Chains A and B, each alone.
Chain A
């Protein structure tokens, strides 16, 4: 199925609003999805016999910079029967308040591999996933402060009272 067909399929299945936009400039076209619907979209793309995107290759949390104040998640899904790939993106504006992390629906119920990927995105970029079964930090210690892959992150000087030298 081509990129346009997939777009058509999603519009027919849901509504035109589910696709917020698209990026076709680069080598791999990407669909921008309405954040609240991402789990439904993934489920449909996985189960529909015309697409069968059954393999989640990668899930990336992205901080789009301090000027835009936008956070997003990029999903790379692949179909094993059809040997195709697709990129989905969701993003939201956020004011970088640590008590109000950017939040997206979790797709763990669709792809179990998203479990650890979402934990990593939470750990390093500070993105909260609604409905995730076990959203703890994964690579950093549980009591680490801040989210290192944010563009406004200040490198920690102390950890548990011990000076961190570089």
Chain B
């Protein structure tokens, strides 16, 4: 059985770090906050790894099948006798894997920030926020109840908001943090309605029961959910679709991706943690968590997920080729890679060999976390050194920053899918899964991996080769060991993680999935990747005018890609023109003039009537006598003629 105390500690230690540093940090930990936070997280990471070891090798596998445990569960909020939010911890093959990823990457970022954020006036706040984020993400991963997941999902959103807006005096950071929160919030609205739909028909909020009921064709819940339709789709399909909308928002899938590139306003280690390695994969994790429902009950939605992933992957890759801010290139690359994970889910089925996409997707999540965090932290070192995000201010840095250069190169090779680095194995599996199920998606994926290799090496050559470095001389070197150690550890991961037989640990049905390696199949992707690298080398190894010429020849396409296909403008149009001018303004006007106008008019009318009848009370006896007489006559008429 799982060691509950350990798992609770993994979850709570980052929270303790948040409380401690958030409440007392300014007074007592203004300089030691980093060490306190890092130590707490170190313990959490060790415990998480211990849990993973125990799960995969000691108790998790019973008769060849990975089991799911819920070692702790208590009722938090009861809605009806059957529907309640039960806070619980779920321990299964994917949550344990995520525990390791989240704590490890977070630890790396904690260590790295010791150097990177040194001397920041809000050092303790920064670490408090990191703790809050880690706690929320772990809570999301461990959630045993869909509403519990939603709770932590929102907390993840707010910690991301706080960290993007960390440099709150910078207007662009404030704008970016708001954008991130609001766009993902919009997606969460879908998620929430999805939860309402699924929980209504499933009559529970607990994942295990929910999945069981909604995938069993003979259960009453399933029958009801399939037979109730709205606008031609069954309630079940609606529910799954809306839940996925939440996942698409958090995972920056097209067209809900617009917040991710702007999120780069946060401190670079934060980008590594949140916007590359952990939070953005929450959507993939959500799909994985509910995978049986998607695969068995709503294959239509699953196919849609595949397409959304494929489209996001290719669009992001094209945009990444044109961006000049190195963090933005990495941001689009993240979006593209998550697209890979999504369509891998989309081309998968439930169970056995058919479930290859599922395993591949999570494998890629795992390896991507390592090399993407490495890329961001490397980029952080570069930015720390050059004090700029723009490629044009860089170049020729390979001699000045040898460790960064080496690790960055490894990460680029890994993400480009070069054997035998980690990215090669996971991407290979994804491509194979795509090839077996959907040839069009496979084609898109192949194209995208070529583009990936191109833009990553465009980035690499522009930073480390190209023209000689012209900036100030290296007065502070590459950064201390705190910044180098995470790079080296992550690089080791990026090199060796691919050799993990992932299918033996994570599969759609909990059984071991033997992943055979096909040499012949991998020739094409590797060649395409090499071609991408080669083109990038020709263009960017030395400072040439080729790129500008090419850009000029395909000016229209280039401009569109450079402006991110104008999706931002579209959003701006919708919010500014429609929400504010077409809805907000008229409503405000309506309230002031019409509704409140009626109230004021009532008052005015009452007043004028009162003014009018006031004159009757004149105090003149003669006029009272006339009223009296008229009254008598009226009564007389009444009595005589009407009665």
Say if A and B assemble together.
Answer: no
Interface residues of chain B, those whose CB is within 8 Å of chain A, are: none
Interface residues of chain A, those whose CB is within 8 Å of chain B, are: none
